[in-house]
Amino acid sequence: MTRGRRKEAEAPLYLVTGGAGFIGSHIVETLAISGQRVRVLDDFSAGTRENLHPFADGIEVIDGSVTDPDACAESCEAVDYVLHHAARVSVQESWEDPVLYEEVNALGTLRTLTAAREAGCRRFVYAGSASAYGSIGDLPHREDMAPDPLSPYAVAKHAGELYCRAFHDLRGLETVILRYFNVFGPRQQADSTYSGVIARFVADLLAGRGVTVFGDGDQSRDFVAVENVVEANLLACTAPEAAGQIINIGCGEQMTVNRLVDVLIELTGAGCEVGRGPARPGEVRHSAADISRARRLLGYRVNVSVPDGLRRTVAWYRTAGAGESHS
Class of residue 152 by CB neighbours under 10 A (exposed 0-12, middle 13-18, buried 19+) = buried
The residue annotated as part of the active site, out of 81, 126, 133, 153, is 153
How far apart are the C-alpha atoms of 64 and 10, rounded to whole Å?
A: 26
How far apart are the C-alpha atoms of 179 and 250, rounded to whole Å?
A: 8
State how far the alpha carbon of 309 is from the alpha carbons of 29, 313, 321, in Å: 17, 6, 18
Is 153 an active-site residue? yes
Residues 36, 28 contacting (CB under 8 angstroms) = no
Peptide bond into 240 cis (omega under 30): no
State how far the alpha carbon of 323 is from the alpha carbons of 45, 50, 118, 228, 275, in Å: 19, 15, 43, 26, 19
How far apart are the C-alpha atoms of 298 and 183, rounded to whole Å?
A: 18
Active centre residues (catalytic): 153
